A and B are shown apart, each in its own frame.
Chain A
């Protein structure tokens, strides 16, 4: 009996050992990690699953992780990038403000030679205007993958029709905008419908982009040297005064209301309590009828410009390249070639499922009709298709500036910017005083940073 028990034990141990060996062999497949700021259900998991199926035989598998694109989420990402190991490929946001410090700290892979070896010319494939801004030290550290012009806003088509206002698909002026926003505002108390919802709290970047619309792609700065800010320019002052005016007149919820009542895109625009809002990066939320049911149509319209004379030059905001979702590879990845293979696959077709979640691919090889079809798939009537086509057709060549922007206290200047426009919107001071003060303080920060 003892012998039989011993024999059985030996057999079971042998089988366990063999199972372990088999598992070890299976684990030899390379697992790489993709990070992005969007929930997996908006096309990312489908995209990763497709790639994993394609690469099954080659033993390469990607795992998708969503990080939150805020200060805490980017801190988490930067920590992993510095330590190495948990991030191989990621989609970065925040433009050069976040890209350049990452390059300077050496956490990003220099993609230039890999792209050249694969015969992929970013300028030819994505457009010079889209790519140039992200060329730093004459090298490619990131490749933009998505078109998203933040100077385009959402508009409730039915509300515009009821107010008898034509959709300004070809641009409009501040005066026309103010006239419209007043007409669109009606009701009182809990039933009040606002002409505009700025969403300064959660979409502050978009509001700031509106204020810097004329100064793209230099943004906050006078020029590409980034040694002086441009906040005292009349265009900045006019934009801030416009925002303030809509809030003061009750045509938009005040900043106090936004903060105190925790207003958001779903509770304001999608509840039909505002006719317009700047939130182009949230196309996926507009389309998500299951979570945010609504029965009106959304058009994508350009933000207004100061006066008639600006319409021809800035009306369609083609000075803003709109290229975003920067795909990057960690310099600490053990498999740079495998990561670059994924990057190229992603850019040239792989990211197609994301169009269903509202992300418009930048690669010229995509069929625009297919993108529109994907964007409206499952959400017929939610978008005004003509406005989407007009939005995608914006000529972008004017935005071709190659910037090697230095990074002098950019984050701190961002904080000063927020404080300045908050002080105006809270009624503490006027736009001109606040922005002149902002320029003084920001320039001082730059001087301090340069002195170090």
Chain B
């Protein structure tokens, strides 16, 4: 039987003499040569792939190195420091390993307990309020504003998000002062003797929370607006035909369809509010007393006022674990959706 010539391959020659089954040189056989070529192609592909990978990796390398040096490395070191009694001013290396002693001390430390409590209160209050306000405003802007005006409103609302937190905090300090516009507004609304918000044990934290809601509102409205514009119009048309009111459409169509966006904003909002620092540091410095201590502020205070890096790291590790749990929940939720 004459074997068929293959494209790109020399003809095999007379089979009886050259067939390795019949005692010919096996390396000359067509199957062997095809296999060899396939192996070569595979090797060449692998080399090309490896080369591409090296090139690709070289592009990522600077970011990777920066992440290793400034993020991952310090994180690992911080984990170790949390098990030591290192004092910053003693210089690197003067670390005494004390096991979990720092973590044990945390729960009897009134400042840590207060900062944990305040952080949780801050999160529980600002995230839901921020989301509710944002979704209502986003729907109102989408429904009642002309498209050009809507963009202007969204940009105006977004401005606090990109403004320097120190600058906005300084403005709010002035707004909250005894004769400041915010206090005057409270008076004009019928509050006869409004407190000095930032100098009051009961009002300082709510005052800081209000700034947190305000500064994050524009970003949330932006995200919600983008999501609302992508909602299917036919559902609303069908609801109109069925005679649904605006409120019904909002609660039965808009809110359920915005659930993924709400979930995303909830997770990022929780993470953001757990990390609140700037407004507290500038507006109250943790005071009056320690009524506005938050976890990051306490980390800063312990590390850079008391120089107790080991203890500060243990607070940071607790914060890290809390944020890790929130992130895992987010991952799981995403997996379920997929």
Provide the B56-90 mask, 1 if CB < 8 A to any CB of A, else 0.
Answer: 00000000000000000000000000000101111
- Interface SS majority for chain A: helix
**A255 adjacent to B89 (CB under 8 Å):** no
Contact check, A419 vs B177: say whether CB atoms are below 8 A apart.
no
Mask for A406-420, Cβ within 8 A of B = 1, else 0?
000101100100010
Task: Kindly list chain B residues whose C-beta atoms are within 8 Å of the C-beta of A72.
Answer: 304
**Alpha-carbon separation in the docked complex, A105 to B309 (Å):** 14
Which single member of A102, A104, A107, A256 contacts B196 (CB below 8 Å)? A256
Question: How many pairs of A and B residues are in contact by the CB < 8 Å rule?
Answer: 73
Interface centre among B105, B288, B301 (most CB of A within 10 A): B288
Contacting pair B289 A419 (CB below 8 A): yes
Cα separation A78 to B91 with both chains bound (whole Å): 10
Tell me if B201 and A257 are in contact (CB < 8 A).
Answer: no
Contact of A82 among B91, B177, B200, B288 (CB under 8 A): B91
Find out whether the CB atom of B305 lies under 8 angstroms from the CB atom of A71: yes
Is the beta-carbon distance between A422 and B91 smaller than 8 angstroms? no
Number of interface residues of A (CB under 8 A): 30
Question: Please, how many angstroms separate the alpha-carbon atoms of A78 and B309 in the complex?
Answer: 14
- B52 proximal to A (CB < 8 A): no
User: Is the Cβ of A260 less than 8 Å from the Cβ of B306?
Assistant: no
Q: Is the CB of B177 within 8 A of A256?
A: no
Is B89 within 8 A of A105, CB to CB?
yes
Q: Let me know if A261 and B178 touch, CB within 8 A.
A: yes
A423 in contact with B198 (CB, 8 Å): no
Instruction: Judge whether B304 and A75 touch: CB under 8 Å.
Output: yes
Complex contact B89–A411 (CB within 8 A): no
CB contact between A259 and one of B89, B105, B199, B305 (< 8 Å): that residue: B199
Contacts of A419 in B (CB 8 A): 289-290
**Across the interface, which residues of A come within 8 angstroms of B178, CB to CB?**
257, 260-261
Distance, CA A72 to CA B285, complexed state (A): 13
| CB <8 Å contact, B288 and A105 | no
Given A422-B287, A426-B199: A261 in contact with B177 (beta carbons within 8 A)? yes
B173 interface hit (Cβ, 8 Å): yes
A422/B289 in contact, CB under 8 A: yes
Asked if B297 lies at the interface with its beta carbon under 8 angstroms from chain A, I say no
Interface flags for A395-433 (1: CB within 8 Å of B; 0: not) read 000000000000001011001000100110010100000
Contact B307 A101 (CB under 8 A): yes
Contact of A105 with B199 in the complex, beta carbons under 8 Å: no
In the bound assembly, the distance between CA atoms of A448 and B199 in angstroms comes to 32
State A104–B196 Cα separation when bound (angstroms). Answer: 43
Set A71, A107, A422, A428: member contacting B304, Cβ < 8 A: A71
Q: With a 10 A CB-CB cut-off, give which of A104, A412, A448 has the most chain B CB atoms.
A: A412
**B196 — which chain A residues lie within 8 A by C-beta?**
256-257, 259-261
Give A222-260 as 1s and 0s: 1 = Cβ < 8 Å from B's Cβ atoms: 000000000000000000000000000000000111111
- Assess whether A106 is interfacial by the CB under 8 Å rule: yes
Evaluate contact between A411 and B306: CB separation under 8 angstroms.
Answer: yes
List, in ascending order, chain B residues with CB within 8 A of A256's CB. 196, 199-200
Scan residues 284-312 of chain B and give those whose CB is less than 8 A from a CB of chain A: 287-290, 301, 304-307
Smallest beta-carbon distance A430→chain B, Å:
15
Partner among B89, B179, B288, B306 whose Cβ is within 8 Å of the Cβ of A426: B288
Q: Chain A residues near B198: list those with CB within 8 A.
A: 259-260
Q: Which residues of A contact B290 (CB under 8 A)?
A: 419
Question: Given the interface contacts A82-B89, A105-B91, does A428 sit within 8 Å of B176 by beta carbon?
Answer: no
A208–chain B nearest beta-carbon distance, Å: 16
Enumerate chain A residues within 8 angstroms of B287, measured Cβ to Cβ.
Answer: 259, 422
In angstroms, Cα B85 to Cα A261, docked, is: 40
Is B112 on the interface with A (CB-CB < 8 A)? Answer: no
- Which A residues are CB-close (under 8 A) to B177? 260-262
Q: How far is the CA of A262 from the CA of B196 in the complex (A)?
A: 11
Quick one: closest B residue to A452, CB to CB? B85
Max chain B Cβ within 10 angstroms of own Cβ: one of A257, A409, A415: A415
Whether A426 contacts B201 by the Cβ 8 Å rule is yes
Knowing A71-B304, A260-B199 touch, does A106 contact B88 (C-beta < 8 A)? no
* Complex contacts, A107 vs chain B, CB 8 Å: 89, 91
Shortest beta-carbon distance from B299 to chain A in Å: 14
Closest-CB distance, A114 to chain B (whole angstroms): 23
Report the Cα distance A258→B178, complex, angstroms.
10
Contacts of B277 in A (CB 8 A): none
B139-198 contacts to A (CB < 8 Å): 173, 176-179, 196-198
**Contact of B306 (CB < 8 Å), options: A78, A82, A105, A412:** A412
Which residues of A in the span 85-112 have a Cβ within 8 Å of any Cβ on B? 101-102, 104-107
Distance (whole angstroms) from the CB of A358 to the closest CB of chain B: 28
Which residue of the partner chain, among B105, B173, B199, B307, contacts A255 with CB atoms under 8 Å?
B199
* Least CB separation from A75: chain B residue: B304
Contact between A260 and B176, CB atoms less than 8 A apart? yes
Q: Which of A260, A422, A426, A452 contacts B197 (CB 8 A)?
A: A260
Bound-state CA distance A255–B287 (Å) is: 12
Given contacts A104-B90, A422-B289, 19 further A-B contacts (CB under 8 A): A71-B305, A101-B307, A256-B199, A256-B200, A257-B196, A257-B199, A258-B199, A259-B196, A260-B199, A261-B179, A261-B196, A412-B306, A415-B305, A419-B289, A426-B199, A426-B200, A426-B201, A426-B289, A448-B105
A-B contact pairs, 17 of them (CB 8 A): A75-B304, A82-B88, A82-B89, A101-B89, A102-B89, A105-B90, A256-B199, A257-B178, A257-B199, A259-B196, A259-B199, A259-B288, A260-B178, A261-B177, A261-B178, A422-B287, A426-B288
A-B residue pairs, 5 tightest by C-beta: A260-B196, A259-B199, A256-B199, A105-B89, A260-B199
* Partner-A contacts on B (CB < 8 A): 85, 87-91, 98, 105, 173, 176-179, 196-201, 287-290, 301, 304-307
